[in-house]
Amino acid sequence: MSPLPTERSLRTTPEGLHWEPSERWVRGVKGDVTVVDSRHPVLVWEPELPVPQYAFPRADVREDLLRPAKNPHTGTHTGSQIFYDLEVGDERVANAAWTFPSADLADHIAFEWFRRPGRGLDHWYEEEEEIFIHPRDPHKRVDSMPSSRHVQVEIDGTLVADTRRPVLLFETALPTRYYIPRQDVRLDLFTPTEHHTGCPYKGTAEYWSWRGDADVPPNLVWSYPEPLPAVGPIRGLLAFFNEAVDIIVDGERQERPVTPFSATLKPSSPRGPAPA
């Protein structure tokens, strides 16, 4: 017998939006002003975005800080109806918020967040933890597990890493990432870069690029020096993009996966993508 639907069941609107209530306490801050403070947010998935966004009941939003958008970005969100500029003090942020036309979400306001720096609020918090890039997806798992597998990494035939003490990171819908102790990586073959990215599941990453002549993308290697507690075992370890290097696990050469990152992993790319 199938379980009955619950209040947390995923719902679908005629416009193709998927949404569900969240029980997390979410706050958004601009400067020293709290613009959003909600214990009843909803998570919304747009058809063209792989990650969720939050929308909030109007009563939980400082609507007195919102102004009708001077130049509304129509068409940037699924069925978006009304855009707002955010005005805090002397600063005005264009198209910082919007509404969805769906009847289910008519009394909610969404804010820019996902990969749009400078277009939204300065900080977001779930409970007391700051969240970056986008909200965490409750239907996605990220697990880091110490292992004794024999993992080797080659670039253009050169062995650059060899370990029997990796940490394997399993993330829904992405290939396994192999995090390797620094002592087991030929870091002398790489150069640290100024590139950094944030991940809501793992934290802030730092990068290295290959110093050799191989035709590989920049920012090929990354590490989380201060990972979030949930993935603490990867602290300070190094990972390589499976899509761009050769990885051998227990003597078996792995096929290079095709992922959403593959298109941006090009030798001519000035910057690498956010790591997975």
Q: How much is the pTM? A: 0.80
- Residue 26 scores a pLDDT above 80: yes
Q: Are residues 120 and 159 in the same domain?
A: no
Range 197-211 burial, b when 16+ CB lie within 10 A, else e: bebbbbbebbbbbbe
Give residue-wise pLDDT tens across range 180-231: 999 999 999 999 999 998 889 999 999 999 998 888 999 999 999 999 999 9
CB 88 within 8 A of CB 97: no
> Of 131, 158, 189, which residue is a domain's last?
131
Domain shared by 151 and 114, yes or no: no
> In this structure, what DSSP letter does residue 212 have?
S
Residue range of the domain that includes 214? 142-264
Residue 269 lies in a domain: no
Which of 13-22, 47-56, 61-70 is most confident? Answer: 61-70
From 104, 131, 158, give the residue that closes a domain: 131
Regarding whether 248 and 147 lie in a shared domain, the answer is: yes
Residue with the bigger pLDDT between 77 and 58: it is 58
- Facing residues of 43 across strands? 20, 54
Identify the pLDDT of residue 2: 42
**pLDDT band per the 50, 70, 90 thresholds, residue 80:** low
Total count of residues recorded for the chain? 276
Backbone angles phi, psi at 166, to 5 degrees: -75, 165
Q: How many domains, in total, are found in the chain?
A: 2
* Domain end residue (candidates: 131, 160, 188): 131
CA distance 138 to 185: 34
- Tell me, yes or no, whether 253 lies in a domain: yes
CA distance 187 to 209: 10
In this predicted model, what pLDDT tens digit does every residue of 125-160 receive, in sequence order? 999 988 888 899 998 999 999 999 999 999 999 999
117, pLDDT greater than 80: no
What value does the mean pLDDT take over residues 84-90? 94
